[in-house]
Structure 1
Amino acid sequence: MYKNNISNQREMPMGYVRVIHTVPDAPNVDIYANDKLIVSNLAYGKYTDYLPIPEGIYKISLYVAGTKDSPVLSDMLTVDKNYILTVAAVGNLKDIEFRAITDANEVKKTGKAMVRFLHLSPNAPAVDITLPDGTVIFSNIPFEHITSYIDVMPMNYTLQVRVAGTDNVVLTVPNVNLSADKFYTVYAIGLVGEKPELQALLIQDEK
């Protein structure tokens, strides 16, 4: 269960934050903001809804679920009024870090879908995102890098993840269903040739 214990008084300027767990060798985690539990028992590959949080600066700490002896990771996060953020736990357990990502931060093209790509597979090389016919949508994206949004026709796509600059397809992603007037991020998570396997998550980026 995800739990939001931060005061969400409506008269206060609010930002919106969700959390995603993409560390393939990490256990389930609890996440605290200024020592208050906001997310409990978050598993690898899962993410929360957006949580309304008063604007301000927060100490974000990650613990193994059910413990609070010492944090696996702590970092500072600034939440601004009306900003929509995703906080991703990324990397491997030995070098885990937070990555704060601003969502839906570009002008929406009416009637189009807005989509971008984020590479969070720790052992994968730089990749291209293509259509099955080889058309390149995003090129040469290394680990932890995120593209800008592009506008595309709303429809159901099949995407391929290829080793950058080659025809070597490491992942095929069918049924990428993009709707008009929505923002999306395609997250590549998992491991190449290991468990958990490389996979793609299509996540809508609006509260």
Structure 2
Amino acid sequence: MMNSNFYNHGFYYPYGLQNFSRVESLPKIKTYIRILHASPDAPAVDIYANGTAIARNLSYKNFTPYISVPSGSYEIKIYPAGSMDKAVFTEKIELNPNSIYTIAAVNTLDSLQILPILEPATTSKPNFSMLRFSNLSPNAPTLDLTYRDNTKLFKNVEFQETTSYIPVVPKDHWLEIRDSLTDRILLTIPSVKLLPNKFYTIYTVGLLNSSPPLQILVPLDGASYLKT
């Protein structure tokens, strides 16, 4: 079993059992959120929604568990972990009812943003994996996600863009991240295991030709836990 700190060949699996201990099965009638820290140069943070802590000491590349929240308007404030002297970011967001979101802290620290990424409660295609791609690398070009033979799964994905899900064969996949304009391979991922009847988002994070380096996160999405 992969744990929440497994990293190899430029990819990172953050979905250890502790990340989903609260959501063995998500009912369709509620709104759920989890938080992703995807700002490559930001320190660990505490995040508050309408004055209530929803993430504490959340470090880069990590996700919180999903939590159930009422739909509506939320003022999100981000603080350096352990300090509430001055928020480094404040913004209002709207959460729709009966929805699932990954709320990502994105961009570099001096341009920090919050990006709500909707996870549609979509029924999976039987015996396939459901896959989508999200470009959260602040300095990367427009990206393609391809197979090893350059068959393109997703094309021209811009920074902060998340694609729709597509069905793919469940197995170990050799994937590549390519520059959409030049077709240059920016990252090779030799083995990404996708299971049948599960939902995944491949998030590209980090910095191209800098530190922390470009890599991917491959979490299970909340739709994997929906009752059908």
- Shared fold by TM > 0.5? yes
Report the alpha carbon displacement of residue 75 of structure 1 after superposing the two structures with TM. 1.6
Q: Which has the higher contact order (CA 8 A, sep 6+)?
A: 2
Q: How many residues align?
A: 196
Aligned ranges 1:1-207 → 2 under 5 Å: 14-206=30-222, 207=225
Deviations 1:139-190 (A, max 9, x none): 1111111111101111110110011143411101122111111111000000
Identity of aligned residues (%): 41
Separation in 2 of the partners of 1:30 and 1:116? 28
Separation in 1 of the partners of 2:178 and 2:61? 21
Separation in 1 of the partners of 2:211 and 2:56? 24
Separation in 2 of the partners of 1:155 and 1:172? 17
2:127 match: secondary structure: coil
Separation in 2 of the partners of 1:166 and 1:146? 21
Kindly provide the amino acid, as one letter, of the partner of residue 105 in structure 2.
A
Q: Which moved more, 1:194-203 or 1:100-109?
A: 100-109
Q: Which moved more, 1:177-186 or 1:13-22?
A: 13-22
Kindly provide the amino acid, as one letter, of the partner of residue 213 in structure 2.
E
Could you list the runs of 5+ residues in structure 1 that have no partner in the other structure? 3-12
Quick check: 2:38–2:104 contact (8 Å CA) kept in 1? yes
Could you list the runs of 5+ residues in structure 2 that have no partner in the other structure? 1-17, 19-28
Quick check: 2:142–2:181 contact (8 Å CA) kept in 1? no
Kindly provide the amino acid, as one letter, of the partner of residue 94 in structure 1.
D
Quick check: 1:90–1:97 contact (8 Å CA) kept in 2? yes
Kindly provide the amino acid, as one letter, of the partner of residue 96 in structure 1.
L
Kindly provide the amino acid, as one letter, of the partner of residue 126 in structure 2.
T
Q: Which moved more, 1:174-183 or 1:91-100?
A: 174-183
Quick check: 2:133–2:203 contact (8 Å CA) kept in 1? yes
Quick check: 1:104–1:205 contact (8 Å CA) kept in 2? no
